[in-house]
Structure 1
Amino acid sequence: MTTTIYHNPRCSNSRGALELIREAGIEPAIIDYLAHPPTKEELRGLIGRAGLAVRDAVRTKEPVYAELGLDSATDEVLLDAMVAHPALINRPFVVTQHGVRLCRPPGLVREILP
């Protein structure tokens, strides 16, 4: 299985997780999720496999969060918003054969590296 990181190169957590993956001798598949956002079902799967609630995967400090009035939104509305506005997706998600983690802080990636 390929290791995959949903990456934003401008994010220090994302860069840190990528560095730790590479230090482990792995060259992951890198998905620029801002340019190529996951589908709603892919996102639901990542969040579920990481053991998170949908709200845990949302960046609430993004301006679009307030603009869309997402404070009391349902999971379905949040997922739709994250797909339509991928900047709302918390990062980085990393997928390996050992599981999925939202790597905030980046060191959490070690839990799923071989």
Structure 2
Amino acid sequence: MDITIYHNPACGTSRNTLALIRNAGVEPTVVEYLQTPPTRAVLQELISSAGLSVREAIRQKGTPYAELGLDDPKLTDDQLLDAMLAHPILINRPFVVTPWGVRLSRPSEIVLDILPLPQKGPFHKEDGEVLIDAEGNRVA
């Protein structure tokens, strides 16, 4: 099964999402996008396929968002994409691509909507929240 996650290992949501994919019995392609940013075309496709606007795909927290003046509502999508490509930390994460769709998995359990496989066992997020019970069923 071909699944790709655009991952930041320093992000708890991204780590939880990756763990949920693995809990489904799949080893995804992991793209550490801070080291290997997507191309402009790939980034546009991720955003579009996830049903988001470019502005919705920008991460504000812990980024140079404000310092770069990206809160200016007059900025075009092209200008926002330019900023995201110049500063990949601005790309919100994790984006996950599966044969069943693309999602920005915030919160991490959104990835379950595009993982049709049953989970292989219980799953707890890093903060202890139970998402999957002992039988592999979604709790939320």
Which aligned runs of 4 or more in structure 1 are off by greater than 4 angstroms? none
Unpaired runs of at least 5, structure 1: none
Local SS of the residue matching 2:65 = helix
Unpaired runs of at least 5, structure 2: 117-140
Q: 1 CA distance for matches of 2:63 and 2:94?
A: 19
| Partner in structure 1 of residue 66 of structure 2 | 66
Aligned pair count? Answer: 114
Highest CA radius of gyration, 1 or 2?
A: 2
Q: Does 2:85 correspond to 1:83? A: yes
Shift of 1:49: 0.2
Q: 2 CA distance for matches of 1:87 and 1:81?
A: 10
Shift of 1:2: 1.2
Instruction: Indicate the percent of aligned positions where both proteins have the same amino acid.
Output: 61
TM-score norm. by structure 2 comes to 0.79
| Partner in structure 2 of residue 44 of structure 1 | 44
| Partner in structure 2 of residue 22 of structure 1 | 22
Match for residue 95 of structure 1 among 86, 94, 97: 97
Task: State the one-letter code of the partner of 2:18.
Answer: L
Q: Which structure has the higher relative contact order (CA within 8 Å, separation 6+)?
A: 1
8 Å Cα contact 2:57-2:91 kept in structure 1 = yes
Higher helix fraction (1 or 2): 1
TM-score norm. by structure 1 comes to 0.96
| Partner in structure 2 of residue 55 of structure 1 | 55
Q: 2 CA distance for matches of 1:104 and 1:47?
A: 14
